[in-house]
Amino acid sequence: MGVISKVTKPTPWCTGLVVAPKAQLGKIRLCVDLTHLNKWVRRERHILPAVDHTLAMLAGAKVFTKLDATSGFWQIPLSEESSLLTTFITPFGRYSFNRLPFGISSAPEHFQRRMSQMLEGCEGAVCHADDIVVYGEDMQQHNARPHKVLQRLREEGLTLNEKCEFAKNSIMFVGHRVTADGVTPDPDKIRAIMEMPEPQSVEGVRRVMGMANYLGKFLPHLASYTRPIKELLSEKNEWSWEKPQKEAFQRLKNELSSPRVLAQYSTTAETCVSADASSFVLSQQQEDGTWRPTVFISRGLTEAEKHYAQIEKEALAVTWACERLSPYLLGLQFKIETDHKPLLSSKALDKLPPRVLRFRLRLLKFTYDIVHVPGKCLITADALSRAPVKHTLTQEEKDNEADVKVFVDAVVQSLPATEARLKVIQEKQKTDPICAKLIQYGQTAWPEQHLWSVVTPLHNSSWGDSCAPPYHSCLQIFVHAGQTSEDSERLILELRRISSATTT
């Protein structure tokens, strides 16, 4: 293949060589340490497909062909300028790669983009790194597809190795076993956990949790199993591997040893999201009428979210689940099951709490019906809530929350005050000490001392639950309340001055 060439002229870069044996007997892998070079590589930032999204493309498939590219990265040639950057030294002199080497930070992204472009227009073909799967719902459909894919690979000069599998009912793909019945965990990964000794340090706990989280979508009770172990990752807790951790570790092994099969996702099957305040499952109706889970997810509440009202927690749960599962749900008509009946009655937007309204606005991109299901019928999802995984808001979630809040506030502030609303305000003013004092000053005279003690609490009040409105609504309220003296206008000017001072 002409992978490397000898270098004789001076080069600005030169790294060491490491030779590692491959799994195949008698074969080796050449590795170079390109750590320093990677600091200067301009990455094209091609987004690699998520494993779940790749597996979802195989929905309904029953026959599979798996094609494996020979030393995938080496299929891509380098320019002379790029080649010299990969120079490495050996006991026999200096060499450089003529083809894309392993270890370049941008290599996976570049290779995935090339493979995706290569397979454009090939129906029933999906690739992930150097693995290509051709699939069909039956043997006839399957057999009509590999020829075009192989022809495309031949045109691009891509070679395959002996690990290819043709017309199989079951294959290993992206760390999962894929069959006509669904998706199961990789037996090697389960075996690795089953044979894993008890961790002796925090680093060992991280390895256990990493393996468990990788298989988390198969485990509806993952949070329960891992809570005693996960607590050891907190800096607030001292290392202590005692009975609760030992029992949790063994229970995790027991659960992984039992058969776990998730249904393949289908864009045509009836879809349902079951959610409560912290646990969720995406299920689909099968051809025989039964419902099977497609994926389990869970999250806990942040410290701020723990103080939400129950309806706000439930609305948050539905919103987060739909956004997390958006690759499966966007453009699809689906139903949401909840055991919190008040969510169904929150139809009138003007009666919703502001936070629930913001969650509703974030769901506008989805097409769904929400139905009430008794909690005892949500066992699959509710089981997760016994010990939810701690959740930290992503930057995207924080940005979405802020954007929606600004939008809702702008809409609310632009709404005209109704007569009924103004009457309620007038009644509340009679019992509110600040408003009563303001009305008194408006009818008599303002005190000579500074107004900070009166104005500041008013300015800091919110329009939502407080009886005291913000400065931009004061004049309107005074007019309807019959207080239109110069002192009222004086108060408004003072409020505006304070607002300007606090925002600059």
Of the listed ranges 90-94, 240-244, 372-376, 396-400, the one predicted with least confidence: 396-400
- Is the model more confident about 191 or about 346? 191
Continuous segment of H or E residues that includes residue 81: helix 80-85
CATH of span 4-180? 3.30.70.270
Rounded Cα distance between 398 and 73, Å, is 38
- The residue among 463 and 260 whose pLDDT is bigger is 260
Q: What is the pLDDT of residues 283-296, one digit of tens each?
A: 888 888 888 888 77
Q: Would you tell me which CATH number, out of the four given (3.30.420.10, 3.40.640.10, 3.30.460.80, 2.40.50.140), belongs to the domain 271-410?
A: 3.30.420.10
* pTM over the 0.75 mark: no
Confidence at 207, pLDDT banded by 50, 70, 90: confident
Angle 419-431/433-443 helices, nearest 10 degrees? 90
Residues of the chain with CATH 3.30.70.270: 4-180
In the chain, CATH 3.30.420.10 sits at 271-410
pLDDT given for residue 166 in this prediction: 93
Q: Looking at residue 400, what is its pLDDT? A: 55
Check: CB of residue 471 under 8 Å from CB of residue 495. yes
Give me the long-range contacts of 13-19 (CB less than 8 A, separation at least 24). 13/37, 13/84, 13/85, 13/86, 13/87, 14/87, 14/88, 14/89, 14/94, 15/86, 15/87, 15/88, 15/89, 16/88, 16/89, 17/88, 17/89, 17/90
Q: Over 60: is that where the pLDDT of 499 sits?
A: no
CB 255 within 8 A of CB 318: no
Rounded to whole angstroms, the Cα distance separating 132 from 135 reads 10
Query: For residues 127 and 120, is the Cβ–Cβ distance under 8 A?
Result: no
Confidence of residue 116 (pLDDT cuts 50, 70, 90): confident
CATH topology of domain 184-257: Alpha-Beta Plaits (3.30.70)
Which of 83-97, 173-187, 370-384, 467-481 bottoms out in mean pLDDT, i.e. has the lowest? 467-481
293 in Cβ contact with 281 (< 8 Å):
yes
Q: Is the pLDDT of residue 133 over 50?
A: yes
Instruction: With a cut of 50, say whether residue 307 has pLDDT above it.
Output: yes
Q: If you average pLDDT over residues 139-160, what whole number do you get?
A: 90
Return d(Cα 123, Cα 134) in angstroms, integer: 8
